[in-house]
Amino acid sequence: MIVTAHAKLNLSLDVLGQTGDGYHQLRSVMQTVAFGDTVEVDLTEDGSFSIDPGQRYLPADGRNLAVKAAKLFLEGTGLGAAISVEKRTPVCAGMGGGSADAAAVLRALNDLTGRGLSLEQLAALGAQVGSDVPFCVMEGTALAEGRGEKLTALSPLPDCAIVVCKPAFSISTPELFAKIDRRRSRLHPDTAGMLSALEAGDLAGVARRCYNVFEDVLGRRRGDVTALRSALAERGALGTAMTGSGSAVFGLFASESDAKDAWQALSAQYEECFLTRPLPGGGQPM
């Protein structure tokens, strides 16, 4: 079975503090977009597991989230899985590529085995694999809380054009969390305002509330991210922000032509630059 592993964006991202188990409490409005990796899954009767991760520097063993998801789903069945990934989602970009691959594997195996689990049940399995996997199973627009596994479905993001660009560097997620923990005071996203704007179908209201607290602790890379956000805004984006722990930056556009112009201009500067749209929830295998 071939499944699309749709990428995600954090329209807003807030870090509320640490939990007793060393994780962090998050509050984020998350959105699925209409591009991502292509994942092929085949059942193996000998119980073996393998993966072609699509990039030679990605783990091709049990460390890969897609393999973890397959082993968890097929535990006790005697079956295995051969997985192949065609990578499109940038790696180390804050777009949930590995989590989306794992979610795609869960959806595919659910159909291949005829097990018939609901999306909610698959999301619960995904929470054992990684914090972003439940959202990548459910897809759409959602408020993610806790470590990211507590999801509340939201009114969909109004249709718009989205330009996403990844600068040619990655950012250390543990380093950003450590900096957040040391920061005594910081700004927070207007999450309540964004939820109200989504409910009202107000794209401009959503866009002007896009905000990611990690941008405040980027250090020397903050200038690069700010410059990219400015470039998107200058070309008509209603709102911009970094997604996840970076380094990809997105802009929301009401005008399709403005978005295409921005994508064409920025593609000359950024190798990984994409023009896409928001995707509703409940994605199914192709």
List the domains of the chain with CATH numbers. 2-153 (3.30.230.10), 161-276 (3.30.70.890)
Pairing of strands 141-146, 24-44: antiparallel
Question: Catalytic residue positions?
Answer: 8, 132
Per-residue model confidence (pLDDT) at position 286: 27
Closest CA to 156 of 13, 5, 278, 18: 278
pTM, entire model: 0.93
Region label for 153, one of left (φ > 0), alpha (ψ between -120 and 50) or beta (otherwise): beta
The list of the chain residues with pLDDT below 70 reads 20, 22, 185, 282-286
100, 36 Cβ separation under 8 angstroms = yes
DSSP per-residue letters across 73-133: HHTTTS-EEEEEEE--SPTTSSS-HHHHHHHHHHHHHHHHHT----HHHHHHHHTTT-TTH
Per-residue model confidence (pLDDT) at position 285: 33
Dihedral angle over CA of 187, 192, 195, 199, nearest 10: -140
